Structure 1
Amino acid sequence: MINAVYRPLCLLLLLASTAVLQTRAADDADEAKFKDLADDDTMVMVPMRDGVRLATDVYLPKDREGPVPTIFIKTPYDFNRLEGTQLGWALEAVNRGYAFVVQNERGRFYSEGEWALLGNPRSDGWDSLDWIAGQEWSDGSVGTFGCSSSAEWQLALAAEDHPAHKAMVPMASGAGIGRVGEFHEQGNWYKGGVHQTLFTIWLRSVQQDMRPRFPEGLDQEQLQRLRSMYSLAASMPEVDWKKVVSTLPASNWLEEAGANTGPWRDLLMRKPDDPEWYEGGLYHDDADFGVPAFWMNSWFDVSQGPNLALFNHVRKNASDPAVRDGQFALVAPTLHCGFYRIPEHEDLIVGEMNMGRAHFPLWEQVYGFFDHYLKGSDNGFAENTPRVQYYTMGANAWGSADSWPPAAAEPVDYYLRSNGNAASVFGDGGLSRTPPTVASSDTYTYDPMNPVPSLGGGVCCNGGLTPGGVYDQRGIEARADVLVFTGYVLEEDTEVTGSIRATLYVSSDARDTDFTVKLVDVHPDGTAYNVDDTILRARYREGFDREVFMQSGEVYRLQPTAMSTSHVFKAGHRIRVEVASSKFPQYMRNLNTGGNNVDETEWVEAHNTLHYSEEHPSHITLPVMPAAPTPSR
């Protein structure tokens, strides 16, 4: 008889094994269906202008009667066997009458050359489009598609305005954005001038300069045979990332993790406005944009702010009116690249929060867009699709608007206040619609060796280092180095949709330190769930192109980059704001010395003060939607 202690474990293992078998069975069924639908031409080595050849697979509808438009995906990941999500993408494309082309970035797997971040999107992207448009099976119209790494390279390519590049669907593409408006995240490397640790973890497996390679110049038949025997997919040893990112100096993290050489260390040493950021594959807002786009983003991703800012930027600034008019956006209540994982007949759970029935017709919208721009289909997409679709959490319903943020949203200021005892949820911190008239302040100690832990929010790709989504924050709010400000019980539903801006008046005895702001929804039972958060390194308060250090005793005005959400604080709930100086390990700790931080081993405690007065009215500005009219009886 199985011991009762082990019975639950055995059940979990059985369920996990069943899920794996079901996934494999589904993949096998889709693969068989795909083979019935598609002709394939694999390991085509597409030449770039410098002679480097990129490994490319082509899949064509068997029932085609002439040239067809193309859905093109470029990726740094292995596609030795189409499976899972990528197989689903291919099946949808071919079944709808498109060629499906997938290509590895240079220096990845069987593609020749040396890998660079985003895979040389401008030159390699242009040359690949030239090649596709010149094939006898191509009608010359190409749409780029993909999520995360297969989306990010599309942005710089769109600035080139290749004549074959007729449409794009970039999903979760923020790591392709360098500078746009107030956001200087340089491919999500930074947020508020603070390094996001996810890129250390992601680059460990991707920046493989030292790897097995076959001789360049092999023919297609040889490469097909070799690929049937060798996947070239690295099997990376497990790493205790919490331990790695806790060590100093940070510049040794990948060495501690046993990584190969690559660009990471050089990237880590760059500052937020380093000139080298403007020489690579990132898109910056001083460039034009030449392609209609359907932007798909997530509320709990690493980059919803820059993504929405870029959507607005292109709508306003693209030189071609048709491109300006060809921009559409959608924001789902998911984690990174969660669009095609929303259950159709069940509630969506994100972290600890039930988001309700969040399903939407993904493929109908994607291919309604592609059919309109690539096939010239008079399908009503442009007339019938809202310019912006967004999921409102709390109400658990899809909404739409002609712009982002919706024009009806009105900025409402909530002032932070206390009698000098806002430390922790047990203190007296509050929120008021009335500006302060009596001066007060709160001081707390930020110790880099005992940072405030991260729990939830917009994260991705970090090897399980910290979870993304929605979680109860009360354990964090019990800390003495977290200032907590809670509003009154709401008498009616309050919808916050748009950009959330914090204005803090701070001082410190450190030359430099960080400040975090978190918006929280407090439920009637006291549970406190995060909505969104932001961070700013104080030295960048006057701009990311300069460093201005703090002087003890001086009060400074800080405005972190905006948070973004659509969330209803229900009647009976309370709005809460947290202010602290760390969210680790999501963000690299500030060691408070004013030094480079990334190559330091010494630190100091910072005694940070938040001020509230007529002269220094620390507050948060919420974009509040007008209340729905009460139905007449």
Structure 2
Amino acid sequence: MKQAALASAIVSLICLASATAFAAPPMGQQAAQVTPDMIQTGSDIPAKWVQPQGNFDYVKREVMIPMRDGVKLHTVIMIPKGAHDLPMLLERTPYNASGMMPGNSPKMADAVWSGDKDWADGSYILVAQDVRGKYGSQGKYIMTRPPMGPLNPTKTDDTTDAWDTIDWLVKNITESNHNVGMIGSSYDGWTVAMALLHPHPALKVAAPESPMIDGWMGDDWYHYGALRQVNLDYFTGQMTKPGEGQEVPRSNYDDYSNFLDAGSPGAYAEAHGFKQLPWWKRFAAHPAYDAFWQLQALDKLLVAHPSSVPTMWLQGLWDQEDIYGAVHAWEALTEAGHGSNNHLVMGPWWHSQINRDGWNIGPLKWPGNTTAQFRQTVIIPWFNHYLRGTPMPKPLPTAMIYNPVAQQWDSFDHWKPASEQQLTPLYLQADFGLGFGAPGGDGDSYVSDPAKPVPYLPRPIPQKNDRWRTWLVQDQRFVVDRPDVLSYVTPVLTQAVTVQGAPIADLFAKTTGTDGDFVVKLIDVYPGTVPSDPEMGGYELPVSLDIFRGRYRKSFADPSPIPANQVQEYKFRLPTVNYAFQPGHRIMVQIQSTLFPLYDRNPQTYVPNILFAKPADYRKATVTIEHRADGRSAVLLPVVANK
């Protein structure tokens, strides 16, 4: 009973406390009132938000610049506060101008992407523009829109768009000194090259970085006819919507399996909806180097329409995406007599690394941030010279090529184009030897099986792959013991072998198939131990490599079947080098038929269009590399005397 009484008392106290809590306030206290400003009647998001920028050191403007046909292009302009008589730096891009200049920081250098940070020091007006049909710009997007002519019947192209943009800038940006420089990498480098076909008078200097110059011969889409099929993701990313599209969805983590399971690249693409893309239809209809590709090859067009604009053609020595364009554009212009205003720069970088940090590439480490040093000591002073009249510390040489072994920049007043090189044959020899002496032996064979292609990286190879940037310096020991990879090696070098220029692969080979690909790699084999850098012990470093599709051995425009079991010559250029193989090292040449899934598989049966080869077309073939007196397979090296 006592417990029941106690419980009843507790309940009463709780009720009393609750009643007190909700009772009227004591005398002298006013009850809380609901006022109109407390009532939610609309959105908490204002019609227009304006960020106060009183402490910003720049002013950001977004404008729509009209082109000659009335189409307006979205353009972002960042002007240092208090600016007057400043030059303008223009980049035209399909990759979102607003994303390159988000502007969400009081400091201009923190409000731009990494490629512009060194330029955002208050001495430049920065301009980024979306190309036609992308992101904020009006008009129709055409992939690397060809110049006006047979492939472009309209009255505009990226040459006229650059001209109209620069014309508007010099007339409307009152803070400028009316001088413009253009810069950009990859596709953005292509837009710079297009502007040079008919430059506006205010365009005073240009730097195409890793530009897309010839997509069939050796830049993004093909290498000597072999399709770079992993770039199919770029098609959907660029052309399924005006903004950023999605990449092709994957069924497997490993792209090796994804592309192998799909069969042909055409089957892969069309299973993922590519028939909806006009670009794919044009692309797939022209697997050979016909007029579709030849008429938009910019190295040829630049020679036909040379400019007097001082131009720096810049790329990386291990550029995994556009290793062809800059050096070939420079060579074409130089050979045509336009070398005085064109300069070649090749750094120890992967694709577009010039716009990021450059302490290393893969395991190769440099004594400093090579990209930052180059921007600050070379390219910015060079732009300043032409845009604001400041003197150069010293003239820019004809060519600046990084020396990865000496870890320094080498300057050349007379760097030779490939057509002027003196070449020394490094012959394949018996017992997988390699040397400058006469070859011997009958030849070596391997079976190339399309069902088991050689990977270009150790598996697995996921779609999102950080190793993609540095695959060209991948240690090749992961394939050296495969039966379908032939490795020829010199004895240990007793003196340095220095090569400066473009090596040439010159193979004499026969195959039991009627088509086939040939991959040739020039490799530096490190000693078994490297005390100063242990991880490089025995490293097999690719110095230069490429792939060639056999059907194009006689003509890139008119392919032909390979006669089975008959020796044919396959001669093709490898990427440019400035490299010294050191005493204690060895030189290796590797030969194989596949680099999968980066490049599509050759069915090894001749079909009209490899993109759409059928499963039954993919057959094994026995490939024999000859190195007899009448079939002297070699890599022809641009050897120079050691200093």
Of 58, 62, 78, the residue aligned with 1:59 is 78
Q: Which residue of 1 aligns with 2:21?
A: none
> Structure 1 residues 441, 462: CA separation in 2 closer, same or farther (over 3 Å shift)?
farther
Q: Is the 8 A contact 1:46 1:53 kept in 2?
A: yes
Of 289, 298, 312, the residue aligned with 2:306 is 289
Which region of structure 1 is more displaced relative to structure 2, 518-527 or 136-145? Answer: 136-145
Q: Is the 8 A contact 1:335 1:468 kept in 2?
A: no
Q: Which residue of 2 aligns with 1:447?
A: 449
CA distance in 1, matches of 2:139, 2:437: 61
Q: Given the alignment of the two structures, is residue 544 of structure 1 paired with residue 561 of structure 2, yes or no?
A: no
Q: Which residue of 1 aligns with 2:374?
A: 361
CA distance in 2, matches of 1:358, 1:571: 28
Q: Which residue of 2 aligns with 1:588?
A: 600
Of 504, 518, 522, the residue aligned with 1:519 is 522
Q: Gaps spanning 5+ residues in structure 1: where? A: 1-30, 179-183, 212-231, 419-427, 629-633
* Alpha-carbon offset, residue 364 of structure 1: 3.4
Q: Is the 8 A contact 1:273 1:545 kept in 2?
A: yes
Of 57, 71, 78, the residue aligned with 2:89 is 71
CA deviations 1:428-471 (Å, max 9, x no partner) are 301121223x5511121111111111139xx9x98658452412
Of 415, 429, 443, the residue aligned with 2:427 is 415
Q: Which residue of 2 aligns with 1:122?
A: 159
Q: Is the 8 A contact 2:474 2:542 kept in 1?
A: yes
Of 495, 518, 521, the residue aligned with 2:498 is 495
> Structure 1 residues 110, 340: CA separation in 2 closer, same or farther (over 3 Å shift)?
closer
CA deviations 1:205-240 (Å, max 9, x no partner) are 1112x46xxxxxxxxxxxxxxxxxxxx555657645
Q: Which residue of 1 aligns with 2:201?
A: 163
Q: Given the alignment of the two structures, is residue 298 of structure 1 paired with residue 316 of structure 2, yes or no?
A: yes
> Structure 1 residues 416, 156: CA separation in 2 closer, same or farther (over 3 Å shift)?
same
Which region of structure 1 is more displaced relative to structure 2, 500-509 or 196-205? Answer: 196-205
Which region of structure 1 is more displaced relative to structure 2, 56-65 or 611-620? Answer: 56-65
Q: Is the 8 A contact 1:355 1:394 kept in 2?
A: no
| 1:12-411 correspondence to structure 2 within 5 Å | 36-42=56-62, 44-66=63-85, 68-81=86-99, 82=101, 86-118=112-144, 120-137=157-174, 138-173=176-211, 175-177=212-214, 185=217, 187-208=219-240, 210=241, 233-234=244-245, 239=250, 240=253, 241-246=255-260, 247-256=262-271, 261-278=277-294, 282-285=298-301, 286-290=303-307, 291-301=309-319, 302-317=321-336, 324-343=339-358, 348-357=359-368, 359=370, 360-377=373-390, 379-380=391-392, 383-405=394-416, 411=423
Q: Normalising by the residue count of structure 2, what TM-score does the alignment of the two structures yield?
A: 0.78
CA distance in 2, matches of 1:465, 1:332: 19
> Structure 1 residues 64, 296: CA separation in 2 closer, same or farther (over 3 Å shift)?
same
Which region of structure 1 is more displaced relative to structure 2, 543-552 or 93-102? Answer: 93-102
* Alpha-carbon offset, residue 78 of structure 1: 2.2
Q: Is the 8 A contact 1:48 1:54 kept in 2?
A: yes
> Structure 1 residues 462, 333: CA separation in 2 closer, same or farther (over 3 Å shift)?
farther
CA distance in 1, matches of 2:521, 2:111: 33
Of 580, 597, 610, the residue aligned with 1:597 is 610
> Structure 1 residues 465, 355: CA separation in 2 closer, same or farther (over 3 Å shift)?
closer
* Alpha-carbon offset, residue 255 of structure 1: 4.6
Q: Is the 8 A contact 2:233 2:248 kept in 1?
A: no
Q: Gaps spanning 5+ residues in structure 2: where? A: 1-50, 103-109, 146-156, 529-537
CA deviations 1:482-522 (Å, max 9, x no partner) are 11100010012222221111111011121111111001111
CA distance in 1, matches of 2:594, 2:111: 35
Which region of structure 1 is more displaced relative to structure 2, 188-197 or 122-131? Answer: 122-131
Q: Which residue of 2 aligns with 1:23?
A: none
> Structure 1 residues 278, 135: CA separation in 2 closer, same or farther (over 3 Å shift)?
farther
> Structure 1 residues 559, 518: CA separation in 2 closer, same or farther (over 3 Å shift)?
same
AA partner of residue 169 (structure 2): I
Q: Is the 8 A contact 2:256 2:596 kept in 1?
A: no
AA partner of residue 39 (structure 1): V
Of 476, 479, 485, the residue aligned with 2:482 is 479
Matched residue SS, 1:277: helix
Q: Which protein shows a greater Rg?
A: 2
Q: Percent identity?
A: 25
Q: Given the alignment of the two structures, is residue 620 of structure 1 paired with residue 631 of structure 2, yes or no?
A: no
CA deviations 1:77-115 (Å, max 9, x no partner) are 123342589434445445353221110011111111221
> Structure 1 residues 533, 104: CA separation in 2 closer, same or farther (over 3 Å shift)?
same
Of 583, 586, 591, the residue aligned with 1:579 is 591
* Alpha-carbon offset, residue 312 of structure 1: 2.2
Q: Is the 8 A contact 1:200 1:264 kept in 2?
A: no
CA distance in 2, matches of 1:561, 1:605: 27
Q: Is the 8 A contact 2:382 2:392 kept in 1?
A: no
Matched residue SS, 1:617: coil
Q: Is the 8 A contact 1:471 1:529 kept in 2?
A: yes
CA distance in 1, matches of 2:331, 2:297: 21
Matched residue SS, 2:423: strand
Q: Is the 8 A contact 2:236 2:245 kept in 1?
A: no
CA distance in 1, matches of 2:551, 2:245: 40
> Structure 1 residues 448, 546: CA separation in 2 closer, same or farther (over 3 Å shift)?
same
> Structure 1 residues 140, 543: CA separation in 2 closer, same or farther (over 3 Å shift)?
farther
CA distance in 2, matches of 1:283, 1:125: 19
CA distance in 2, matches of 1:85, 1:268: 41
CA distance in 2, matches of 1:624, 1:577: 16
Q: Is the 8 A contact 2:238 2:245 kept in 1?
A: no
AA partner of residue 52 (structure 1): V
> Structure 1 residues 54, 312: CA separation in 2 closer, same or farther (over 3 Å shift)?
same
* Alpha-carbon offset, residue 330 of structure 1: 1.7
Q: Is the 8 A contact 1:353 1:471 kept in 2?
A: no
> Structure 1 residues 303, 330: CA separation in 2 closer, same or farther (over 3 Å shift)?
same
Residues matched between the structures, number: 546
CA distance in 1, matches of 2:425, 2:258: 41
CA distance in 1, matches of 2:281, 2:388: 45
Q: Given the alignment of the two structures, is residue 562 of structure 1 paired with residue 561 of structure 2, yes or no?
A: no
CA distance in 1, matches of 2:244, 2:481: 44
Q: Normalising by the residue count of structure 1, what TM-score does the alignment of the two structures yield?
A: 0.79
AA partner of residue 133 (structure 2): G
Which region of structure 1 is more displaced relative to structure 2, 544-553 or 88-97? Answer: 88-97
CA distance in 2, matches of 1:410, 1:484: 25
Matched residue SS, 2:97: coil
AA partner of residue 124 (structure 2): Y
